Amino acid sequence: MADPSCPVCATADIICGKWTILVIRDLAEGRSRFCELERSLEGISPRTLSLRLRALEEQGIVERHTYPEVPPRVEYSLTPKGEALVPLIEDMRSYGRQWLGVDDGACATAAEPAEPVAA
Amino acid sequence: MADPSCPVCATADIICGKWTILVIRDLAEGRSRFCELERSLEGISPRTLSLRLRALEEQGIVERHTYPEVPPRVEYSLTPKGEALVPLIEDMRSYGRQWLGVDDGACATAAEPAEPVAA
DNA sequence: GCCAAAACTTCAGTTCGTGAAGTCTTGCGG
DNA sequence: CCGCAAGACTTCACGAACTGAAGTTTTGGC
């Protein structure tokens, strides 16, 4: 993107595409099928989901598992290189909770923020 | 993007635009002028930089300071809400170092990764 | 060889980012 | 008070990315 020798840029290149981080977030909860991802990521077009999964697979971040069954089944999961992105997603989750006033009601919040939400 | 009540989606909405995270990374090093950002983010168009800064300002993530001087000067800096994104950027930096084989030669790496780069 | 169902592709249209070029602001020097 | 230098942006035309609807491929049983 800017300087390819910058670690932040290199990582940004991977996750900057629309929906990419959310695909990884979903797969962090366990392997999933194409249509499950499509349903979870409400609003994504199948074309974009397909492009994202292919790109992530090429980058060694997700793995594709095919099952030759009656309706053919395909599942996706994170590789270790993909799992390593989970802390990043957790940071995003806590940022959203502390500063954007958004909470899906999962875990409890850790500490009082300096100037939450209102800022 | 997908579910607005999801903290990860809400945060993704903020940072998913091209260059956004890199603008914040630059401002994390201290307040900066338009042309300095333009020079640091090699390849960004002034239009995009302008759009990003405006959007981030509207979201309360950056602050704009104008100085009515001989050539008029404008500087940008992070608000607390913007500073709170720095841990996210640090995660991206260490991911880039550990898994993408990219190092701008700043700090030393912490520990040996399980399966670095090669994966 | 036809079927249902999952997993994608294809296509036309809109939105987002680029690169070059132009505009606007500021105050000083002529 | 006009023109100038220089920073900070707009504007415009073009190309790339994303969308939504519709179509295609794959699989094994009937």
| Same-domain check for residues A61 and A114 | no
Per CA to C1' distance, which residue is closest to D10?
A: B47
Closest alpha carbon to A52 in A73, A30, A79, A76:
A76
pLDDT digits (tens, 9 = 90+) for B53-89: 999 999 999 999 999 888 889 999 999 999 999 999 9
Question: Is A12 part of any domain?
Answer: yes
- Residue B111, pLDDT above cutoff 70: no
CA A70 / C1′ C1 distance in Å: 16
| Same-domain check for residues B69 and B28 | yes
Biggest alpha carbon–alpha carbon distance for chain B: 56
Q: pLDDT band for A62, please (50, 70, 90 cuts).
A: very high
A67 Cα to chain B: minimum distance (Å): 24
CATH of the domain at A43: 1.10.10.10
Contact between chains at A102 and B10 (C-beta distance less than 8 A): yes
Q: pLDDT band for A105, please (50, 70, 90 cuts).
A: low
- Residue B48, pLDDT above cutoff 70: yes
| Same-domain check for residues A90 and A59 | no
Contact between chains at B102 and A5 (C-beta distance less than 8 A): yes
Q: Which of A44-53, A104-113, B50-59, B96-105 has the lowest mean pLDDT?
A: A104-113
In whole angstroms, give the CA distance from residue A28 to residue B42: 33
| Same-domain check for residues A63 and A104 | no
Question: Is A2 part of any domain?
Answer: no
Contact between chains at B7 and A60 (C-beta distance less than 8 A): no
Instruction: Give the nearest chain A residue to B79 (CA atoms).
Output: A119
Q: How far apart are the first and last CA of chain B?
A: 31
Residue B119: the pLDDT is 41
In the predicted model, what is the mean pLDDT of residues B40-56?
95
Are A8 and B100 in contact by the 8 Å Cβ rule? The answer is no
Question: Is A113 part of any domain?
Answer: yes
Angle at B82 between CA A96 and CA A11, to 5 degrees: 75
CA B85 / C1′ D10 distance in Å: 30
pLDDT higher at B32 or B114? B32
Question: Is A76 part of any domain?
Answer: yes
| Same-domain check for residues A32 and A67 | yes
- Residue B92, pLDDT above cutoff 80: yes
**What is the ipTM metric for this complex?**
0.86
Residue of B3, B5, B9 to mutate when probing chain A, most A C-beta within 10 A: B9
How far is residue A28 from each of residues A8, A33, A37, B3, measured CA to CA in Å? 21, 13, 12, 17
Question: Is B1 part of any domain?
Answer: no
Task: Return the bridge partners of B73, or none.
Answer: B67
- Residue B108, pLDDT above cutoff 50: no
Question: Is B19 part of any domain?
Answer: yes
Q: Is A43 left (phi over 0), alpha (psi -120 to 50) or beta?
A: left
pLDDT digits (tens, 9 = 90+) for B7-32: 999 999 999 999 999 999 999 999 99
Q: A29-55: buried (b, 16+ CB within 10 Å) or exposed (e) per residue? A: eeebebeebbebbeebeeebbeebbee
| Same-domain check for residues B55 and B33 | yes
Residue A37: the pLDDT is 96
CA B5 / C1′ C22 distance in Å: 43
